Chain A
């Protein structure tokens, strides 16, 4: 294993130790997704039994709920992991080690993927047991849809991490708030067409909006939503590149302003 890989693995292990030992941290991965699924899942079942309910309402809603959670957790996998080191005053130890900024980002992405697999496994199993909802009914389409949501979550995670580095712990609320800012225009639980024209215009530039439109398309028609997947992927390429560029630029600014040590102490 190269030195670079060993450092990426080391930083990932640092967080895995944490989840092995800390029940509250483990609950963060499982508790909220499960609670969301229980509350909103049963609300959905109830509403679907009312007269005039939209056909396939349960499928749309629970599918959307699981997919949105994947985006949210992939973002949190980055920004909350970064905050762990701020909270434990360990950030300076990390940044004076040979771990480079690139390796740091790569280990956060790796960590986010591990957390996602855990969360997704629990949610998918629970949805199948409680609501007989099989997300794999989406077939192969599920793969590009999920990948697009994960990459969008990473882009938001890298952006919020950069902002916390720059503005300190006062900005840590962003780790929980920024992804939710995108929810109304992501058309998670309703089609984009219900949005007013100005929000529809914004939704065009949100990868998640294309993913959820794609999900509804495949559930309605059984066909692959090529246009939506391509649009989401193109936007994600731009956003992930911009977020990484912003991170490096911001890292330079933070070092120039001497803020790295202040966030770390």
Chain B
């Protein structure tokens, strides 16, 4: 598998003193699900923001599809997408209107068919004419995931995508994402505090702490390296180094 995202010596310093990300380097391969995990303040969110071009790195390089994010931002953003349980969509617009706006923003040619297809897959076709403000948080999350898949992205950035879903829908969403990944060769960068989910979803995980990568590899090798039975045990070992 070739590298689709390449990060070299990425550093972010806020206010000339707080080092949020400290010279990290990693690659994301085509068609893999890469998990980014670590305690609060580890630098995951800042890394994700830099990968999306929302925050400028202090130093280092980010290349997506071989292109520099700071120079070819628009070209890259047309082929990637993002969803987070912490953001929403305009409340007054219906589900279909919201998806229409974003499909136009991403230049999707078969808008109507694509929207219908995704709403069907996420089992929310019946609420397509409902204003977003009337949806439950779980439904909004699913609409946001539809939005994130509208442009058939090559890379998908997901920030705790199942945080507001009930166990059944969270399980369905995970299965769906894995299916799309298999069928379309989608690469996913995934963050979550649910370690069981990370074990289930990720081909590889990157463990971050205090802005640095302290371990990287497939979940099995991480467990062996840290002598844990689950990623949760490893997480706790890292978060509480004295124990």
Contacts and interface: CB of A to CB of B under 8 A. Distances in A.
A265 B105 CA distance: 20
A260 B50 CA distance: 11
Contacts of B178: none
Given A84-B90, A258-B46, A21 B131 contact: yes
A181 interface: no
Contact of B104 (A13, A21, A264): A13
Given A96-B54, A258-B12, A10 B105 contact: yes
A264 B87 contact: yes
Given A85-B90, A256-B56, A261 B101 contact: no
B49 to A, nearest CB: 5
Interface residues of B, number: 38
Given A255-B56, A261-B45, A25 B104 contact: no
Contacts, number: 104
Residue of B52, B55, B82 with most chain A CB atoms under a 10 A cut-off: B55
Given A93-B147, A260-B54, A6 B107 contact: yes
Interface in A1-52: 3, 6-7, 9-11, 13-14, 17-18, 21-22, 25
B90 A255 contact: no
Interface stretch (B24-32, B91-99, B189-197, B232-240): B91-99
Contact of A96 (B82, B88, B101): B82
A177 interface: no
A18 B92 contact: yes
B77 A98 contact: yes
Nearest to A88: B90
Contacts of A7: 104-105, 107
Interface string A95-128: 1111110000000000000000000000000000
B77 A96 contact: yes
Interface in B32-57: 45-46, 49, 52-56
B14 A90 contact: no
A84 B92 CA distance: 10
B152 interface: no
A258 B45 CA distance: 10
Contacts of A231: none
A134 to B, nearest CB: 37
A131 B56 CA distance: 56
Contact of A92 (B20, B78, B87, B107): B87
Nearest to B104: A10
Interface in A229-257: 252, 255-257
Interface string B100-116: 11101111000000000
A264 B52 CA distance: 14
A96 B106 CA distance: 10
B93 A89 contact: no
B89 interface: yes
Contacts of A260: 49, 54-55
B105 A11 contact: yes
A208 B130 CA distance: 44
A98 B74 contact: yes
A222 B131 CA distance: 52
Contacts of A96: 52-54, 77, 80-82
Contacts of B84: 92, 265
B104 A97 contact: no
B119 to A, nearest CB: 17
Given A258-B46, A261-B45, A261-B55, A17 B97 contact: yes
Nearest 4 pairs of A and B residues by beta carbon: A10-B104, A89-B88, A258-B55, A14-B101
Interface of A: 3, 6-7, 9-11, 13-14, 17-18, 21-22, 25, 84-85, 88-90, 92-100, 252, 255-258, 260-261, 264-265
12 contacts: A11-B101, A17-B93, A18-B93, A84-B90, A85-B90, A89-B87, A92-B82, A98-B78, A258-B54, A261-B45, A265-B86, A265-B87
Given A6-B107, A7-B105, A18-B92, 9 more contacts: A13-B104, A18-B93, A88-B92, A89-B86, A93-B87, A94-B105, A98-B77, A258-B14, A265-B86
Interface of B: 12, 14, 20, 45-46, 49, 52-56, 73-74, 77-78, 80-82, 84, 86-94, 97, 100-102, 104-107, 131, 147
